[in-house]
Amino acid sequence: MSDFLQFEDVSKHYGAVKAVDHVSLSVKQGEFFSLLGPSGCGKTTLLRILAGFEQPDTGRVLLGGEDVTDLPPYERKVNTIFQSYALFPHLSVWDNIAFGLKVAKRPKKEIQSEVEAMLALIQMEDQAWKKPDQISGGQKQRVAIARALVNKPRVLLLDEPLAALDLKLRQRMLIELDLIHDEVGITFLYVTHDQGEAMSLSDRIAVMQAGKIEQLGTPAEIYEAPRSSFVAAFIGDTNFFDGVVAEPLEKHTVLDGFLSVAVDRDYSRLKIEDFPDLECFNDKQIRQGEHVFLSIRPEKFRISREKPEGRPHLNILEGGVEDVIYLGSQTKYWVRVGDYRISVIRQHSRYLLDEKPIRWNERVWLSWHADDGFMLEKYSEQDEALLQPPPEEVGETSEPGAGAS
């Protein structure tokens, strides 16, 4: 079960470009699995290798324990939903859906009933005889899904299927895709550059970058515990602080009435220029003296006018509010601390009844628990080109995290 679909050490080069670089990956049966990454990260190539449109240079692809690496596309029990839908323009909706069954020479009666069942699933029974250019984008999308699903593929491949739709339709199709996945129980392999789509649909996500898998996990794992600065910045919004790892914390425990002091390897002190020493969760056992990025998500901060009481593992910073954006369900603050403009999101429950709302130019206190900050290796130059720097101006639209927060 656990090794239903496997990529084993798969590589693919285009000239000097490594599109896919020794990727190993396994997908469970029935899983909604996403390949997420910026354009050019190799996610589509990986999908095309599974579909059979590309041959890997090395490695193999196993489907249900069977090696399918050398099979042509038409002999694989996988079907693809293309970004452009690729509906056959000369065929009606009905004939588009029936195409795979006709090619497989299934009996006429069976084709009839299967196609009708699919039309019912996508709720387009009354549009069956229209041609693709007579139906809307969302309907085309649904026909493409039906055309693939009617063949009962073992894996359904979706190549940025929502990219061509407008926002409202995208949100609706997102829900429909989720419902269809629940209904048919087929393994979905979903390729996207939109972290919002991947987050809301997937059981597991593989974040890809430069042909490699950067991190693999559930949406929550990836969002809450990013393993690299690339993942932290690509998935959701975050604040990066440039720091140097200092000594580990001491653990004070009372044992048989005696106070014992031990080195706590889980937490380290972190030195950041102009900041007081911070305490930080050190899950990756980063050694003392290493330069790291401390990543803290905007919603992990607590912002208050009064200085919070000190508690173990609580970090406290003082800063000035530079900008405030009221977003309805939450408010976004930009707080200046030293060289950093820190983005903070605060969910408010009783905005007007609460204490007087924080305004700009006020002195505030930011606090967060050591567990909510992650020390990550600094990202490479290549990553830097892919990621925008934290916005300098209020209202800048290039916020990679808008979809997930």
| Minimum distance from residue 67 beta carbon to other proteins (Å) | 19
Nearer to other proteins, 91 or 169 (CB): 91
| Minimum distance from residue 233 beta carbon to other proteins (Å) | 33
Nearer to other proteins, 135 or 169 (CB): 135
| Distance in angstroms (rounded) separating the CA atoms of residues 227 and 83 | 30
- Token pair for residue 283? 């899950």
| Minimum distance from residue 86 beta carbon to other proteins (Å) | 4
Nearer to other proteins, 133 or 274 (CB): 133
Tokens 């996207």 correspond to 192
| Minimum distance from residue 43 beta carbon to other proteins (Å) | 17
Nearer to other proteins, 148 or 376 (CB): 148
Q: How many helices (H) and strands (E) does the chain have?
A: 9, 20
Q: In this structure, are residues 148 and 58 in contact, taking their beta carbons and an 8 Å threshold?
A: no
Bridge-based pairing state of the strands 58-63 and 66-67: antiparallel
**Phi and psi based region of residue 56 (left: phi greater than 0; alpha: psi -120 to 50; beta: remaining):** beta
Nearer to other proteins, 135 or 286 (CB): 135
- Interface ranges with other proteins (CB under 8 A): 51-53, 72-74, 78-80, 82, 84, 86-91, 99-100, 103-104, 130-131, 133-135, 147-148, 151
Nearer to other proteins, 37 or 100 (CB): 100
| Minimum distance from residue 151 beta carbon to other proteins (Å) | 7
Q: What's the full length of the chain, in residues?
A: 405
- Token pair for residue 67? 């090696």
| Minimum distance from residue 41 beta carbon to other proteins (Å) | 21
Residue 243 CB contacts under 8 Å (≥ 6 apart), including other chains: 270, 271, 272, 278, 291, 292, 293, 294, 375
| Distance in angstroms (rounded) separating the CA atoms of residues 115 and 127 | 13
Nearer to other proteins, 100 or 298 (CB): 100
What residue type is assigned to position 312 of the chain? P
Half-sphere exposure of 308 (CA within 13 A, CB side): 19
Q: Which residues of 97-117 are buried (b: 16+ CB within 10 A; e: fewer)?
A: bbbbbeeeeeeeeebeebbee
| Minimum distance from residue 98 beta carbon to other proteins (Å) | 10
| Distance in angstroms (rounded) separating the CA atoms of residues 50 and 322 | 50
